[in-house]
Amino acid sequence: MRTPLVVGNWKMNGTLAEARALAQAVRDGLKRPRGVEIAVCPPFTALTAVAEVLAGSAVALGAQNCHWGDSGAFTGEVSPPMLAEVGCRFVLVGHSERRHVFREADDEINRKVSALLRHALVPVLCVGETGEERRQGLTFTVVEGQLRAGLAGLGPEDIRRCLVAYEPVWAIGTGVNATPAQAAEVHGYLRGLVSELASKEAALRVRILYGGSVKPDNAASVVQEPDIDGVLVGGASLQAQSFIAIAKKSAATGPGAGE
C-alpha cells in the first residue's frame, strides 16, 4: 500500500519569522501522523530556519525548485547539493508556474530530475494541462509528453524513486479543483505510463499526488480515489490549521489514521 503524502508548497511567501511560526504550528499539530507522510516546501531563504524547527519531527523538508548543476556560474540558482546539505528530502520540479511563468523547458526539467536523483533527493515531477488544452481534448497528450520528457533517460530503479504530481493548471489558485473523477482518470493514465516506462512493479510503487485548489473540504474525496496518493497543497498550506486538516483527511484509513 502506498502511504499518502501531503506536501505544502509555500511558494514566494513568508518572512523568516513567519516561516518559523508556520513550521512550528504544523510540527506541533502533526506530532504523530499515522497513515500519511508530511512535507513542507518553504522559500529558499527559509529552508535552514524551517529545518531547525522541524528537526526530529515527523514533517519532512522540501524545496520548490533547483538547478541541475552541482555548482558554477549560475547566478540566482540553488543546486541539489545545497538542498541536501540543509536537510531537504523532496524537491518540486516542473511546477506549472516554472513552466508557464519562467518558461522552463522539458529538457531542463529532465536534467533537474536526474541531478536530484544523483544526490539522493526525491524529485516531485509536476505535470498538468491548461484550461485551453483541456477544452481541446489534449489533457492526456500534454501530461504524457511532460511525463515522458521529465523521466527521459531514467532506468526503472530511478523512476521508482520519483514522485509525480498532477496539477491541472486551470485549477491552481483558482478555487476550482478537478473533480475526483477527473483527477482519478488522469492519475490512472499516468500510472499506466509509468508501467510502460519502467515496470508494473514501479507503477505500483510510485506515488502520484494531486495538486490544484486543495482544501480541507475536498481533500478526503480526492485521496479516496485508488490512484491518488496524496496532495500537493498551495495556498491552503500557508494556514497551519488548514494544512493540518488536509493532512489528517488525506491519511490512509485504519485505526488511528491521521492522528
Q: Which three cell numbers stand for residue 253?
A: 484509513
Q: What is the pTM of this model?
A: 0.96
Examine the pLDDT at 9 and tell me if it is beyond 90. yes
**pLDDT value of position 253:** 59
pLDDT digits (tens, 9 = 90+) for 49-75: 999 999 999 999 999 999 999 999 999
pLDDT digits (tens, 9 = 90+) for 92-115: 999 999 999 999 999 999 999 999
Average pLDDT (208-234) is 95
| Distance of alpha carbon 94 from alpha carbon 64, whole angstroms | 10
User: What's the CA dihedral at 45, 7, 246, 55 to 10 degrees?
Assistant: -60
> Which residue, 32, 89, 48, is CA-closest to 244?
32
SS3 state of residue 65: coil
| Distance of alpha carbon 193 from alpha carbon 189, whole angstroms | 6
SS3 state of residue 59: strand
Q: What region does 99 belong to: left with phi over 0, alpha with psi -120 to 50, or beta?
A: alpha
pLDDT digits (tens, 9 = 90+) for 179-188: 999 999 999 9
pLDDT digits (tens, 9 = 90+) for 142-173: 999 999 999 999 999 999 999 999 999 998 87
185 is catalytic: no
Q: What is the DSSP string of 154-166?
A: --HHHHHT-EEEE
**How do 230-233 and 163-166 pair as beta strands?**
unpaired
Share of the chain above pLDDT 90, in %: 93
pLDDT digits (tens, 9 = 90+) for 18-49: 999 999 999 999 999 999 999 999 999 999 99
Catalytic residue among 37, 97, 129, 167: 167
Average pLDDT (187-201) is 98
| Distance of alpha carbon 39 from alpha carbon 41, whole angstroms | 7
Catalytic residue among 95, 97, 129, 187: 95
Q: Which three cell numbers stand for residue 84?
A: 541536501
167 is catalytic: yes
Share of the chain above pLDDT 70, in %: 97
